[in-house]
Amino acid sequence: EWLEYYINLGINIILWNYWSYGYSTKQINPKSSKSDGVQVAEFYKEKFQLTGKFGVHGESLGGSITPYIASWTNADFMFADWTFSNFKDVAWGMMGNIGVLGVTLFTFWRESSVEDYVGYKGYKVIGCDPNDNVIYELASLKNSITKYLVT
């Protein structure tokens, strides 16, 4: 429904999948996800010579890299939807300290999206669902931004 919403407003928007989803067989990692997102956005902007507003909208895992992509592509706005600040907090919310240990030992996802979100100078929106069964409320990007700004 988001794509139709943006199209009806005349806003240019991109949607994509990241490594290890869809038909991809590569492993996902934060650096490649950020780089891929920027490359997709830049290609889209150049290929179609966009006029009008350009926005970046990402949900869940995609929302965690949306602030980075929006900054690097000079997007007019970004929407980080139902997302988290870092993978370790999500693992803790789902499995406690065992989850944190698993993330620490078996993934490369150590980065937080809080600084990218706070540093982005365009219009920004954050969405969340207090009843989300995957993104634990204390792991949400909105909660992490609040902690960052207060401390």
> Which contiguous run of DSSP H or E holds residue 99?
helix 97-106
Q: What percent of the chain has pLDDT over 70?
A: 93
Q: Sorting pLDDT into bands at 50, 70 and 90, what band is 25? A: confident
What average pLDDT does the segment 46-55 reach? 88
Single out the residue of 67, 61, 83, 81 nearest to residue 135, CA to CA. Answer: 83
- pLDDT given at position 104: 77
User: pLDDT: is 23 or 95 the higher one?
Assistant: 95
Separation CA 111–CA 89 (nearest Å): 11
The sign of the CA dihedral 28, 32, 38, 42 is negative
Query: For residues 144 and 112, is the Cβ–Cβ distance under 8 A?
Result: yes
User: pLDDT: is 96 or 142 the higher one?
Assistant: 142
Query: For residues 141 and 84, is the Cβ–Cβ distance under 8 A?
Result: yes
- pLDDT given at position 135: 81
Q: Sorting pLDDT into bands at 50, 70 and 90, what band is 48? A: confident
- pLDDT given at position 125: 94
pLDDT of 9 over the 70 cut: yes
pTM for the predicted model, two decimal places: 0.84
